[in-house]
């Protein structure tokens, strides 16, 4: 596969999955969570070999906020200026739940098809 197509497919896949994991990271936090903390958690949990650029998180959060999936509040910090912390809105929770369902069924389907390829190789 030419590298530019591989790059495009990787970007397409990354965008959808990144939105899902970011929403999930915000949902599981018990208190409003700031961008750096989300990035750190996702980087810590990323599998070996998967490159997650933390800086791509911020335009994503911005889009989510514009879409009404998350809302932000400024929280004072002892370590520096006030930080923008995020929580999920009701709409964000609804989208996350719907997306989780889609992800699980898609995951099952893709694994089944990929299993077929593995068997013939």
Asked if residues 42 and 57 have their Cβ atoms less than 8 Å apart, the reply is yes
76 is a site residue for other proteins (CB under 8 A): no
Residues 80-119 within binding reach of other proteins (CB under 8 A): 80-84
Neighbouring C-beta atoms of residue 108, cutoff 10 Å: 10
Q: Which of 20, 21, 24, 43 binds other proteins (CB under 8 A)?
A: 43
Residue range at the interface with other proteins (CB under 8 A); choices 24-32, 63-71, 86-94, 100-108:
63-71
Closest CA to 27 of 113, 103, 95, 110: 95
60 is a site residue for other proteins (CB under 8 A): yes
Asked if residues 41 and 25 have their Cβ atoms less than 8 Å apart, the reply is yes
Which residues contribute to the site for other proteins (CB under 8 A)? 34-36, 39-40, 43, 53-56, 58-60, 62-63, 65-67, 74, 79-84
């Amino acid at each position: 596969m030419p590298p530019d197509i591989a790059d495009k497919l990787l970007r397409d896949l990354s965008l959808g999955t990144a939105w899902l994991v970011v929403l999930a990271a915000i949902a599981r936090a018990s208190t409003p969570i700031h961008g750096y903390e989300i990035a750190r958690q996702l980087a810590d949990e990323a599998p070996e070999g998967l490159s997650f650029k933390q800086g791509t998180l911020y335009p994503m959060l911005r889009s989510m906020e514009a879409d009404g999936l998350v809302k932000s509040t400024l929280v004072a910090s002892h370590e520096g200026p006030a930080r923008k912390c995020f929580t999920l809105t009701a709409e964000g929770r609804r989208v996350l739940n719907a997306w989780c369902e889609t992800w699980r069924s898609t995951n099952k389907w893709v694994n089944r098809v990929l299993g077929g390829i593995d068997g013939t190789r």
